[in-house]
């Protein structure tokens, strides 16, 4: 199993431990852990809005939902913050919590003889085409 899958299973472990081991219960526990994982990534003001919308979908009365929220959702969000603290750090440089900029590209290699066409004779007078001589990649 890969590192990401292991982290997800470790995160869901408290809910998995509460199941009876049936496939249905395990799937339910994983679904709830995924829901909590995604909730933990939302800013708190959006989280409250999402939880309110979720109440009608779960078909629970107010007392059941409050108990579910207090005993399952809140502890799983705290668990997420403890297990994945980097995901919860706020950056002061912008509205996003994560740096989603593309990875830095390596600097372009300076050409030994700028302006020489790839198929022109190499300026070093080797008799080879520039592409196969001084213009070779990695040289």
For residue 139, what pLDDT band results from cuts at 50, 70 and 90?
Answer: low
Burial of 17 (0-12, 13-18, 19+ CB in 10 A): exposed
**Secondary structure (3-state) at 134:** coil
Least confident of 3-7, 20-24, 101-105: 101-105
**94 pLDDT exceeds 70?**
no
| Residue 3, SS3 per DSSP | helix
Q: Which of 75, 137, 87 is nearest to 108 (CA)?
A: 137
What does pTM read for this prediction?
0.60
Over 60: is that where the pLDDT of 67 sits? Answer: yes
Instruction: Give Cβ neighbours of residue 69 (< 8 Å, ≥ 6 apart).
Output: 51
Task: Give the model's pLDDT for residue 73.
Answer: 92
């Amino acid at each position: 199993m890969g590192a990401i899958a292991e982290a997800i299973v470790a995160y869901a472990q408290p809910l998995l431990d509460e199941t009876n081991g049936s496939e249905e219960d395990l799937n339910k526990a994983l679904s709830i852990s995924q829901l909590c994982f995604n909730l933990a990534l939302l800013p708190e003001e959006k989280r409250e809005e999402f939880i309110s919308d979720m109440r009608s979908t779960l078909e629970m009365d107010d007392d059941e939902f409050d108990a579910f929220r207090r005993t399952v959702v809140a502890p799983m969000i705290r668990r997420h913050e403890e297990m994945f603290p980097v995901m919860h750090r706020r950056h002061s440089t912008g509205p996003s919590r994560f740096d989603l900029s593309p990875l830095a590209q390596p600097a372009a290699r300076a050409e030994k003889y700028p302006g020489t066409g790839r198929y022109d004779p190499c300026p070093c007078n080797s008799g080879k085409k520039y592409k196969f001589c001084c213009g070779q990649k990695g040289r």
